[in-house]
């Protein structure tokens, strides 16, 4: 797991693996990180997290880097920036 990766795997037990979205300001895993998906096979959890991180990197390259996100699983507000712009994205749904 790289520090810039937004999604990571947390092992809860021998057969429960959570993919979580990193929300903490310091970049490390935090207790308020959103649970994105759960798996009972370790390989599947890491494959899912890797795929999500790759998609996020492509979005960051195309639209700028996410600086902060807040919200719940049904509504989110994010702040992004690139070299010239800063924007806010509101997702309700």
Contact 53, 5 (CB under 8 A): yes
Q: Output the pLDDT for position 5.
A: 86
Residues 6+ apart with CB under 8 A from 32: 23, 24
Phi-psi region of 81 (alpha: psi -120 to 50; beta: other; left: phi over 0): beta
At 93 the pLDDT is 46
Name the average pLDDT for the chain.
76
Partner residues linked to 77 by β-bridges: 70, 90
Residue 2: Cβ within 10 Å count: 7
Q: What is the pLDDT of residue 9?
A: 96
What does the pLDDT read at residue 47?
96
pLDDT digits (tens, 9 = 90+) for 59-72: 878 777 655 555 55
**Which residues contact residue 84 at a Cβ distance below 8 angstroms, ignoring those fewer than 6 apart?**
none
Q: What are phi and psi of 53, to 5 degrees?
A: -65, -40
Six-digit token pair at 35? 């649970």
More confident residue, 29 or 38: 38
Phi then psi for residue 12, to 5 deg, are: -95, -35
What average pLDDT score do residues 17-45 get? 89
């Amino acid at each position: 797991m790289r520090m810039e990766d937004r999604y990571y795997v947390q092992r809860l037990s021998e057969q429960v693996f959570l993919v979580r979205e990193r929300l903490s300001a310091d970049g490390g895993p935090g207790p308020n990180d959103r649970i994105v998906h759960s798996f009972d096979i370790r390989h599947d959890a890491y494959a899912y997290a890797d795929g999500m991180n790759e998609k996020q990197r492509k979005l960051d390259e195309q639209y700028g880097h996410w600086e902060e996100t807040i919200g719940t699983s049904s509504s989110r507000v994010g702040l992004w920036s690139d070299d010239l712009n800063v924007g806010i994205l509101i997702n309700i749904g």
